[in-house]
A and B are shown apart, each in its own frame.
Chain A
Amino acid sequence: GQQVMQIPQYQHVQEGEDFTTYCNSSTTLSNIQWYKQRPGGHPVFLIQLVKSGEVKKQKRLTFQFGEAKKNSSLHITATQTTDVGTYFCAGKSNFGNEKLTFGTGTRLTIIP
């Protein structure tokens, strides 16, 4: 079945540094979504990418969808303490009746 891998699993950065998490799928995706989960909380939807090569920005967050629609990235510029949490990508395959598959997540901690 479809597999979605995410790296790195953990990332510790100094406040103000940049952060990037990468998402790779074993199959071509029809779309990819990104979620953020604060410690002790539940995942919250951030954004959805649908088009090949699509780039979307939300303030300091930049999301990219690869040209082959098999990978994606989330980049945070100048991290702040409010960025702490685990970031998940979730992709839906182009084929068959595959459901949304979540990546393993990247846990971001900020050193003040």
Chain B
Amino acid sequence: NAGVTQTPKFQVLKTGQSMTLQCAQDMNHEYMSWYRQDPGMGLRLIHYSVGAGITDQGEVPNGYNVSRSTTEDFPLRLLSAAPSQTSVYFCASSYSDRWTASPLHFGNGTRLTVT
């Protein structure tokens, strides 16, 4: 099993450009999520999905879109990149998000710089 696969590993964008960060998991996990990690701020939830066709906003959703057309894939779209979106992005999945949270499996991350 590959686990959670994120691409690309690194990306540099100019302000106003758009792009999609890819995330795929092969563990048949119901729950998938996107986090951003900034120094001193821990991991903040951007968007999440509890199953195919279902998405919802997390703590910091502005400027990002997601979709979940299949159980395996959960891409994150930056609509119009801004310097404030410079960060490390992690995709994470877990078996379920019911009652007690299941352990999260993280991808290797995407380091995004917006100039």
Contact = CB atoms under 8 A, between A and B. Distances in A.
Contacts of A43: 43, 90, 92, 104, 106
B53 interface: no
A45 B103 contact: yes
Specify which of A35, A43, A50 lies most central, judged by the most chain B CB atoms within 10 Å of its CB: A43
Contacts, number: 57
Given A30-B100, A31-B100, A92-B100, A104 B42 contact: yes
A42 B97 CA distance: 20
Contacts of A88: 42-43
A30 B99 contact: yes
A87 to B, nearest CB: 11
Given A42-B109, A100-B104, A102-B35, 13 more contacts: A6-B42, A31-B100, A31-B101, A33-B104, A41-B108, A42-B106, A42-B107, A42-B108, A88-B43, A99-B58, A101-B59, A102-B44, A104-B42
Interface of B: 33, 35, 40-45, 48, 58-59, 90, 92, 97, 99-101, 103-109
